[in-house]
Chains A and B, each alone.
Chain A
Amino acid sequence: MVLRRMLLAAGTVLSLTGSSFAADMVIAMPNWPSGQAAANILKLAIAEKFHLDAEVRELGTMLAFAGMETGEVDVVPEVWRPNFDDLVKRYGQDGSKTVVLGERAVPAWQGLCATQDAAAAGIKDVADLSDPAKTAVLDTDGDGQGEVWIGATTWKSTGIERVRANSYGYAKTVTLVEAEEDVAMAAVDAAVATGRPMVFYCYEPHHVFKLHDVVRLTEPAYDPAKWNIVAQSDDPLWISKSSAPVAWGPVEFHVAWSSGFAKKHADVAAFLEKVDFKPDEISAMSYALQVDRQPAADYAKAWVEQNKGRIEEWGQ
């Protein structure tokens, strides 16, 4: 999830044609569903309250931060932490001060999930993954050893999941699989459809929790003293040098905007400061766009229509 969002940034090409000339401001839109819905909701709400025309531009977090520094981008709807703490540090109040991070945050979560069939087979806690007698039911390639999907190869979180597997010890008892998220989610669909147990990396808010009855594996609570992740940029061997035999720490995401924009439109910045999406709203957005296939703009229009009171409050 983490690096995915960075790579998207790198892979997205800015298109500076047509509507961008007319727009009063630019809202960066990531490629994950809740961020897409949120970007469109902010566009419509700002148009209604402040009569500003916002361009929603497809842009990952990394490029969006760079854009906020240069003044090309004004608002980013979802900045994940601790995932993008390095960007927050570089551009935020401890750095160049070109980016303001909203104080309100949506609580999020990441860890390992099990299908009901995996839980019924006795896999409920991360310690169960170190028991080959239990994890054999996760075997999908006939070698007698179970598999666990730990994320897409390009995600930053995948490396950390590997660290956790090494630290807990289950890297020895299960095969850690990396594959694109669509492949893994389809594997969950097929596993649930046939009653086959499966354990996989998951994050919340995410539509998988509405689509399937999956459970989080329990594990020892986050302990900053035990969470020793060597920075990837400092050492190519960071995975083998890191250790994290505990749950992920608190995860959350914020709205962010550029300092330049806040100077020009203090009223809009004050509005953004009050935006308070709830986790179940984010899940609903993810589900509506990803599962029900509603276009982000249509979903946003209906949302703004149904939440006039909320938007009114944000504007006060």
Chain B
Amino acid sequence: MAGINRRRLLFGATLLSAFGLSTVASVADTEIYDAKTRKWVKYDRATARKMFARNGQPPEAFRMQMVKFRTAEKPGTIIIDGNQHFLYLVQPGHQAIRYGIGVGREGFGWAGIVRVGRTAEWPTWTPPAEMVARDPNAAKWAGGQPGGPDNPLGARALYLYEGDRDTIYRIHGTPEPWTIGLDVSSGCIRMNNDDIVDLHSRINVGAKVIVLMQGAALYKGV
């Protein structure tokens, strides 16, 4: 089997074409290539945290970078590839700025076309009722946690709307930058704070957002 394993990301370099290495069983996990040990390692929460502590930043593939990106979408459009943990902001001249993202544990559970309905700086986070019921930490903030460095929404939030309706999904920052590249949050798209601040500064309210499908089983529409 040739080609890139969708979850395999090269650590310390750009994306690697892995020829004849991948197995079907391994694709369920995120894996990255550790240049130090020259081995593919499971990219789970513990590894991510350790690597982040060692390097002070996410693996290179997940860092903000300009990439070649041929598309019919106009500059300013956001394309989210939850499978590969990338968010693209389309630029002129068949290029895009690519950022690393963390996504929901079960993938997004949805795909489709939405738009940035509004944005907020250092947004307030209000936990959903079911979270308040099961999590005492969340219960503390039932009335809303003010924005700040510990707020789970991080430095900025882009609220995704379908028409004039808030979808309840957001692209937001995170106080836990090592979680970029993992499937951890619940349905939302998280970026590290520097990246979400950068993205926020470049987009306009109304920007088209395309969330790619991750298989029919997860495609439910927004």
Residue ranges of A at the interface with B (Cβ–Cβ < 8 Å) = 117-118, 120-122, 133-134, 136-137, 139-144, 147, 149, 175-180, 182-187, 189-190, 192-197, 207, 211-212, 290-291, 293
Whether B74 lies near A293 (C-beta < 8 A) is: yes
Whether A194 lies near B86 (C-beta < 8 A) is: yes
* Chain A proximity of B181: nearest CB distance (Å): 14
Whether B3 lies near A190 (C-beta < 8 A) is: no
The 8 Å CB contact of A133, one of B1, B4, B69, is: B1
The 8 Å CB contact of B216, one of A178, A187, A193, is: A178
The 8 Å CB contact of B3, one of A117, A185, A293, is: A117
Chain A interface: which of B105-113, B117-125, B162-170? B105-113
Whether B219 lies near A186 (C-beta < 8 A) is: no
Whether B112 lies near A180 (C-beta < 8 A) is: yes
Whether B212 lies near A175 (C-beta < 8 A) is: no
Q: Tell me which residues across on chain A come within 8 A of B68, comparing CB atoms.
A: 193
Q: Tell me which residues across on chain A come within 8 A of B113, comparing CB atoms.
A: 180, 182-183
Whether A186 lies near B28 (C-beta < 8 A) is: no
User: Is B184 an interface position by the 8 A CB rule?
Assistant: no
Whether B71 lies near A140 (C-beta < 8 A) is: no
A136 to B215, CA, bound (A): 12
Closest residue of A by beta carbon distance from B67: A193
Whether A178 lies near B219 (C-beta < 8 A) is: yes
With A147-B216, A190-B86 given, name 11 new contacts (CB 8 A): A137-B3, A139-B27, A141-B214, A142-B6, A142-B29, A143-B28, A177-B215, A182-B73, A182-B113, A190-B212, A195-B15
Q: Tell me which residues across on chain B come within 8 A of A117, comparing CB atoms.
A: 3-4
A140 to B86, CA, bound (A): 13
Residue ranges of B at the interface with A (Cβ–Cβ < 8 Å) = 1-4, 6-7, 15, 17, 24-25, 27-29, 67-74, 79, 81, 83-84, 86, 88, 96, 107, 111-113, 210-219
* Chain B proximity of A120: nearest CB distance (Å): 6
Whether A121 lies near B1 (C-beta < 8 A) is: yes
A192 to B113, CA, bound (A): 20
| Given A147-B216, A175-B216, A183-B113, residue A142 in contact with residue B7 (CB < 8 A) | yes
A141 to B84, CA, bound (A): 10
A75 to B69, CA, bound (A): 38
The 8 Å CB contact of B215, one of A122, A143, A197, is: A143
Q: Tell me which residues across on chain A come within 8 A of B112, comparing CB atoms.
A: 179-180, 183
Whether B219 lies near A185 (C-beta < 8 A) is: no
* Chain B proximity of A216: nearest CB distance (Å): 19
A190 to B173, CA, bound (A): 23
* Chain B proximity of A239: nearest CB distance (Å): 15
* Chain A proximity of B25: nearest CB distance (Å): 7
Q: Tell me which residues across on chain A come within 8 A of B107, comparing CB atoms.
A: 141-142
A142 to B28, CA, bound (A): 4
Whether A186 lies near B71 (C-beta < 8 A) is: yes
Q: Tell me which residues across on chain A come within 8 A of B27, comparing CB atoms.
A: 136, 139, 142, 144
Whether A144 lies near B79 (C-beta < 8 A) is: no
The 8 Å CB contact of B217, one of A133, A143, A149, A190, is: A143
Whether A195 lies near B17 (C-beta < 8 A) is: yes
Closest residue of B by beta carbon distance from A148: B216
Whether B3 lies near A120 (C-beta < 8 A) is: yes
Q: Tell me which residues across on chain A come within 8 A of B2, comparing CB atoms.
A: 120-122, 137
| Given A186-B210, A187-B213, residue A137 in contact with residue B1 (CB < 8 A) | yes
* Chain A proximity of B217: nearest CB distance (Å): 6
Q: List 28 A–B pairs whose Cβ atoms lie within 8 Å, in order of A's numbering.
A: A118-B3, A121-B1, A133-B1, A137-B1, A139-B24, A140-B6, A141-B83, A141-B215, A143-B28, A143-B217, A147-B216, A149-B213, A175-B215, A180-B112, A183-B111, A184-B213, A185-B71, A186-B210, A187-B212, A190-B212, A193-B68, A193-B96, A194-B84, A195-B15, A196-B4, A196-B84, A212-B70, A290-B72
Closest residue of B by beta carbon distance from A185: B72
Whether B70 lies near A211 (C-beta < 8 A) is: yes
A304 to B34, CA, bound (A): 58
Closest residue of A by beta carbon distance from B81: A190
| Given A189-B70, A193-B69, A194-B84, residue A183 in contact with residue B3 (CB < 8 A) | no
* Chain B proximity of A49: nearest CB distance (Å): 33
Whether A176 lies near B216 (C-beta < 8 A) is: yes
Q: Tell me which residues across on chain A come within 8 A of B79, comparing CB atoms.
A: 186, 189-190
A183 to B69, CA, bound (A): 15
Closest residue of A by beta carbon distance from B78: A186
Closest residue of A by beta carbon distance from B213: A179
A194 to B73, CA, bound (A): 17
Closest residue of B by beta carbon distance from A176: B216
Whether B213 lies near A147 (C-beta < 8 A) is: yes
